[in-house]
Chain A
Amino acid sequence: MSTVIGQPVRRREDARLIVGRGQFTDDLKLPGMTYAVIVRSPYAHARIRRIDVSRALAMPGVLAVFTGKDLEGVLGPVPTAWIPPNADLKQTVHRALAVDEVRYAGDGVAMVVAEDRYTARDAAEAVEVEYEPLPAVVDAWAAVQEGAPLVHPDAPGNLALHWTAGSVDQKAFDEAEVVVRQRFVQQRLIPNPMEPRAAVAWYDPGTENLTVWMTSQNPHIHRFLLSGILGIPEHRLRVVAQDVGGGFGSKISCYPDEALVAHAARTLARPVKWVEDRSEHFMATTHGRDHVQEVELAGRKDGTIEALRVKIWANLGAYLSTAAPGVPTILFGLIVNGCYRIPQASTEVYGVFTHTTPVDAYRGAGRPEATYLIERMVDLFADAIGMDPVEVRRKNFVPPDAFPYTNAFGITYDSGNYPLALDKALERVDYGGFRARQAQARQEGRYLGIGFSTYVEMCGLGPSEVAGAVGFQGGLWENATVRVHPSGKIQVMTGASPHGQGEETTFAQIVAEQLGVAMDDIEVVHGDTDRVTMGWGTYGSRTLAVGGSAVAVACQRLIEKGRRIAAHMLEADADDVAFQQGRYQVQGVPGRSVSFQEVALQAHLAWNLPQGVEPGMEATANYNPSNFTFPFGTHVAIVEVDPDSGLVRLERYVAVDDCGTPINPLIIAGQVHGGVVQGVGQALWEGAVYNAEGQLLTGSFLEYAMPKARFFPPIETDSTVTPSPHNPLGVKGVGETGTIAATPAVVNAVMDALKPFNIRHLDMPLTPEKVWRAIHGKGERQ
C-alpha cells in the first residue's frame, strides 16, 4: 500500500537553496550588528609573553578586544562530552582563549569586535602578541616517545587516553598457519563543508535572554554546553541553526569561538557576528582521522580468519574536542572485525595530544578507520595465501542465518545478507571478465586493478543506556512533535538537525505515508531550540533511524487519538474503525468514513469529543532506539595506474548498499555519491601535512586536494534491502556508508593494479609521485 515512502521525491529544500533564498548564519542582518575577528596563534607551541591590545583598541570603530586573561572566571572551559570508561582520560583544561601558552597554530589568543568587519580585520592585525616559541610535536607516534615536548603538563607522555577492548589468546598467533602484519597510516583529513563556521549572538538585556544563531549539527547540545561555558541558564538561551551548509562532523563540536561571540554580545549588548574564513577554517575547525595502526591477523591457509589484533595511536590534537575521545575508541575499536566472523579480536588505543588542530568526528568517525584496516588486511591475507580476495571475504562473512550476530566485542549486528550484496556487485562489474581484461592489459603494459570493500558499519547509536555505558555525555534518543493545525496542515518538529541530508523531505514522506496527507500539507521544522522541545542532533547516521522513528511513533499516537474521535463522529466502536490512506473507515460499512484532517478539525473545535479525549491534535514522541543499525554492502573500484606518471585513474565505481527499507532512493543515491567521493578523496588526494614546527602546510585549497567532479566516472549505485528489526521504519543509516566503504575499495584496487611490481602496501593518499616511486623502486621521498 506504500505510496510515498520509497518514492524518489525531489528534495523540497533544494529550491530555496539553489536560488539563494536559504537563511544561513551569515545571511542574518540585525540592526546594530557588530563584527568579531579572532586573533589566532601563528605558532604551534609558544609561551605568551605579553599581549598589547592598546593599538587595536585605539582604532576608530573598535568596540572591544578580549584576551584570555579578561575571561578568567568569566567563561568556563570548553568541555569534552565523551568520556569513555576505563580509558584513563586526561581532561585537560581548554580555555576559550589561551592564557599562558598556545598549543596549536590556530589557538585563539584574542577577539576583536568592531563596527564593521573591515575594521575588525585590521584591528586583529594590530593586536600585538609577544610569543616565545617552544618546540612542538605534531605526530602521534613522535609525541609518545621519550622526551617529546609536552602539550599539557597534566598529561604525561602526551597520553590523553588508553583504552582496550576484546581479547586475543596469544596462542592464536603462535599456532597460526599464517600471520599477516601491517602498519597503516590513516592520514589526517580536513573536513570542508561549503559553509564555514559562523555565529551571530544577540543579548536582550531586558529579558536577559541570549540567542545564538550558529552553524550547528545539534543546537540542543550546543545550548547545553554553551550554557555551562557562559553561565547562562538553558531556559534563557536559544540556539538556532536554520540553514547549515554541511558539517561532516565538524559542526558537532562545541568550539570556543561561538561562546566568545555570545560573551561579546552579552558584554556589549550589541549583536555580534563572526564568520570563519576558509583559511581560518583549515586551522581552527576540527580535523578527522589521523591514526597510526599496527594490525596483526592470524588465519589458516584455507582462508579462515582466526584472530585480529589492533593497536593504534590516535592523534587527538591539542585539546580534547567534544566527541573526540569516543571516535577512535567506541566508534572504531568495537567494529574492527568488519563484516567477518572473527572469533578473537582485540583493540588497544592510545589517544595522543599533539600541537595540532583538535581532531574529532569526520564523516564516518572511527568506522572508516576500522573498515580501512580490516578490508586492507583481508586483501593482504588473501595475497599471503594465494587466494582470491573475493573468496576470502565470502569464507569469513557473518552468514545471513547468523543474525542477530554478536561480534567479539559484544556488539550485536541487527540484520544482514553480505553475500547477496557481494554477488550483485560481482555481477555488475563482471568480475571474471574483468580479470581477463586485466591480464590482457598487462601484456600491453597497462595496469588495471580491481578493489573490493565489503563493509558493515554501525550507526544510529543507541539506546541511551548504551550511550551512557560508553561514556557519551548525552542521551541518544530523539524527539519529534507532530502538530496538526485546525486546517489539517501539519508541522513536524524534530530534534534531529539536518544540514544538507534532506530530512525536510524524508520526514515529510514518513508523515504523509503514515497519516495519508499530502506532502504539501507538511512542514518539517528543525534547528531551533525554541521551536523544538529537545533533540540530540544529526550525526552518526542517526537522523532517519532515530529521528525518523520518533516521527513515525508520534504519527501512530495521532492515529490512535484520531481513531477515538473518528469513532465518536461515525458513531461506531473504535475497534471497528480502520485507518487507511488518511481515512478512518467503519469496517464493513462503505461510505462511513472521515478523513484524518476532518478529525483534526473536530479535535481542535472540541465541540463534541468523546469522553476522556483532550482537545487538540498534537503528539510528541521521545524515541529511544533499541540498538544501533548496521548498514552494509559491497563497493567495487576499478582503476588504471599510469606507470609513467604514477597517476591513478578511477575507471569505474560500483556501490551496492543495503540501508534497510528505503524511504527516498534519490536521497540515498545522493548520500552514497557524496560519501563515495569523500572516501575516494582520502584514498587518492587528501591529507593534512604539518611541518616539524607545527605549521599546516596544506592550509588552503591550493595545496589541500578536495575531490573534483572531473576526477570521477559516473558512480553506479545499486541496493539490496534487508530491513532493520530495530526500528519501526526498518531503516538503517546511509549518510556515512559511502565514505566508510570507498577508501579501502580504491586502495585495494590500486594495490591490485600494482601486483606485477610486487608492492605490498602504500599509505594514503596514493599520490602520483608515491605510486611512481614504488613502481620504479625509488624508495620513499626524502
Chain B
Amino acid sequence: MIAERFRYLRPKDLDEALAWLAESQGEVRVLAGGHSLLPLMKLRLAAPQTVLDVERVEALRGIRLEGDVLHIGAMTRYHELARDPLVAEYAPLLAMAARTVGDPQVRNRGTVGGSICHADPAADFPAAALAMDAEVELRSRAGKRRLPLREFLLGPLSTALAPNELLAAIHVPLRAGWGAAYEKFPHPASGYAVAGVAALINKEGGAARAVAVAVTGVGPVAYRAAATEEVLTGASLDAARIQDGASQVAEGVEVNADLFASADYRRHLAQVLAARALRAAWGSD
C-alpha cells in the first residue's frame, strides 16, 4: 500500500494555499481528513503530482452564525459537527448524518469539505447538506464565489470545483425547530450508505409547510427527491401520504447496483428509509 511519488505542500494560511493552487502544474489534490484520498493513492487509483495539505489553514475552520446562515468551515470534522451547540440548534440534521459516518477514527479525521469535494455517491454528509439547502463558498486567488450545493455536485466523484479553487466553507440556512431525520442503511463492509435519506420538515398548523428530502447511495450523486417533496409539501403527513411520497423517492433516478444490492433492492430500500425518515421528521401528531 504505497502511493506513487508526489509533491507534498503544507500551506500555513489561506493565501499561501490559494497561491499554490494557482501556480502548481499538473494535478493537485487537496488533503483534508485524508480518509478518502489517501486510500485511493495507496491503491494507486489516484496519483496526483501534488498533495496540498490544508491542515494548518485556520481560515477553513470554525462554526459560527453569520446573519441568517450558519457558516461551517470546510475543515470541520464530523466529530465537531456532531457535538457543536450551534449545529444542534440550527442544523441538527447535519449532526445526525455526521454521527453515522464511518467509525470514531473516521469521524475524528474526516471533514465536511472533504466529503463534499470528494462527491462519493454513497457519502452521508452531502445528502444532509443538500436537504439543508446548503451553499458552498469557493475561494481562489481571483476571489470568492458561492454556489448552491445542488449545482456543485455534478456526478460520482465530480464537482464544479475549478482546479485553482478551494472549498472554504458551507453556509446553511437556519432550520431551528424543523423536524429532521437521517435514515441510513450502512454497507456492512464499508459503512457507506447503501441508501441514506435525509428528511427535513417545517411543520406548521398540522401541515408540512416545507419539506426537503435528499438521498444518497442510490443515484450517481446525492440528490433532492423532488417528486417526493412535491407530494408532501403543504399536506398533513399521515401514513398513507408518507407512503405515497416515499414511493417516489427514486423517481427518475438511474439507481446504482453493486455486489451488495441490486437496483431493485436499493430502490426499495430508499423507499423504506424515506418513509422512516419522514415519519421521524414529522413526529407524532
Please report the C-alpha to C-alpha distance between residue A645 and residue B259 in the assembled complex, in whole angstroms. 16
- A644/B272 in contact, CB under 8 A: yes
The distance in angstroms between the C-alpha atoms of A697 and B268, with both chains bound, is 24
On whether the beta carbons of B259 and A689 are closer than 8 Å, the reply is yes
Stretch from A216-224, A576-584, A766-774 at the B interface? A766-774
Which residue in A277, A645, A705 is a CB contact (below 8 Å) of B187? A705
13 more contacts with CB within 8 A, not counting A703-B260, A769-B265, are A121-B2, A279-B1, A644-B272, A697-B259, A703-B259, A705-B188, A706-B189, A767-B260, A768-B185, A768-B261, A768-B265, A772-B268, A778-B264
A772 to B264, CA, bound (A): 11
The residue from B1, B43, B189, B192 contacting A704, defined by CB atoms under 8 A apart: B189
CB interface residues, A 677-696, toward B, < 8 Å = 684-685, 689
In this complex, what residue of A is CB-closest to B268?
A: A772
B24 touches A (CB below 8 Å): no
Q: Are A702 and B190 CB-contacts (below 8 A) given A117-B2, A277-B1, A279-B1?
A: yes
- A645–B189 contact, CB under 8 A? no
B230 sits at the interface (CB 8 A): no
Residue B108 lies at the interface, judged by CB distance under 8 Å to chain A: no
With A279-B43, A698-B259, A769-B261 as contacts: A645 and B272 at CB distance below 8 Å: yes
3 closest A-B pairs by beta carbon, nearest first, are: A705-B189, A705-B188, A121-B2
User: Roughly how many angstroms separate A654 CA and B268 CA in the complex, as a whole number?
Assistant: 34
B81 in the interface (beta carbon within 8 A): no
Seen from chain A, the residues whose Cβ lies within 8 Å of a Cβ on chain B are 117-118, 121-122, 277-279, 644-647, 684-685, 689, 697-698, 700-706, 708, 711, 767-769, 772-773, 778, 781
Tell yes or no: B5 within 8 A of A by CB. Answer: yes
B interface, CB within 8 angstroms of A? 1-2, 4-5, 43, 185, 187-190, 192, 259-262, 264-265, 268-269, 272
Report A-chain residues with C-beta under 8 Å of the C-beta of B189: 685, 701-706
Contact indicator B259/A769 (Cβ below 8 Å): no
- Chain B min CB distance to A123 (Å): 11
Q: Is the CB of B188 within 8 A of A685?
A: yes
Contact across chains for B1 and A781 when beta carbons are under 8 A apart: no
Task: Enumerate chain A residues within 8 angstroms of B43, measured Cβ to Cβ.
Answer: 279, 700
Query: B243 CB to closest chain A CB, in angstroms?
Result: 12
Bound-state Cα–Cα, A768 to B188, Å: 10
Residues of A with C-beta under 8 A to B272:
644-645
A685 to B190, alpha carbons, bound, how many Å?
A: 12
Asked if residues B190 and A701 are in contact (CB atoms below 8 Å), the reply is yes
Q: In the complex, what residues of A have CB within 8 A of residue B5's CB?
A: 118, 122
A623 and B23 alpha carbons, distance in the complex (Å): 73
Closest residue of chain B to A644, judged by CB?
B272
Say how far A509's CB is from chain B's closest CB, in angstroms: 35
Q: How distant is the Cα of A781 from the Cα of B266 in the complex, in angstroms?
A: 12
Residue of B nearest to A278 (CB): B1
Which residues of B have CB within 8 Å of A697? Answer: 259
Q: Could you list some 11 contacts between A and B, CB below 8 A?
A: A122-B4, A279-B1, A279-B43, A644-B272, A645-B185, A646-B265, A697-B259, A701-B189, A701-B190, A767-B260, A769-B265
Residue of B nearest to A124 (CB): B2
**Given contacts A118-B5, A279-B43, A645-B269, are A769 and B188 in contact (CB under 8 A)?**
no
Could you say which residues of chain A place their CB within 8 Å of the CB of B261? Answer: 768-769
CB–CB A781/B269 < 8 A:
no
Chain B contacts for A701, CB-based, 8 A:
189-190
Bound Cα distance from A705 to B43, whole angstroms? 19
The complex places the Cα of A767 from the Cα of B262 at a distance, in Å, of: 12
Chain A residues whose CB sits within 8 angstroms of the CB of B187 once the complex forms:
705
Q: Give the docked Cα–Cα distance between A416 and B178 (Å).
A: 62
Residues of the B chain whose Cβ atoms lie less than 8 Å from the Cβ of A279: 1, 43
Q: Decide yes or no: A773 and B2 within 8 Å by CB, A685-B188, A705-B187, A708-B188 being known contacts.
A: no
Q: Within the complex, what minimum Cβ distance (angstroms) separates A148 from chain B?
A: 24
Q: Does B190 lie within 8 Å of A781, measured CB to CB?
A: no
Residue of B nearest to A646 (CB): B265
- Give the Cβ gap from B18 to chain A, nearest Cβ, in Å: 31
Best-surrounded residue of B5, B188, B189, B269 (most CB of chain A within 10 A)? B188
A705 contacts across to B, CB distance below 8 A: 187-189
A767 to B269, CA, bound (A): 13
**Distance of A769 Cα from B5 Cα, bound (Å):** 42
Q: Are B188 and A711 in contact (CB under 8 A)?
A: yes
Nearest-Cβ distance from residue A761 to partner chain B, whole angstroms: 20
CA distance in complex: A67, B271 (Å) = 54
Bound CA–CA A704/B188 (angstroms): 8
Chain B residue with Cβ nearest A778:
B264
- The interface residues of chain B lying within 8 Å CB-to-CB of A778 are 264
Give A689 to B190 CA distance when docked, in angstroms: 16
Closest to B1 in A: A277
Residue of A nearest to B261 (CB): A769
A45 to B255, CA, bound (A): 33
- Whether the Cβ atoms of B265 and A773 lie closer than 8 Å is yes
| Of listed B1, B187, B192, residue having the most chain A CB within 10 A | B1
User: Is the pair A769, B2 in contact by a Cβ cutoff of 8 Å?
Assistant: no
Task: Report B37 CB to chain A, min CB distance, Å.
Answer: 15
CA distance A345 to B139 in the complex (A): 75
A778 vs B267: C-alpha distance when bound (angstroms): 14
Contacts of B262 in A (CB 8 A): 769, 781
- Which residues of chain A are within 8 angstroms of B190 by Cβ–Cβ distance? 701-703
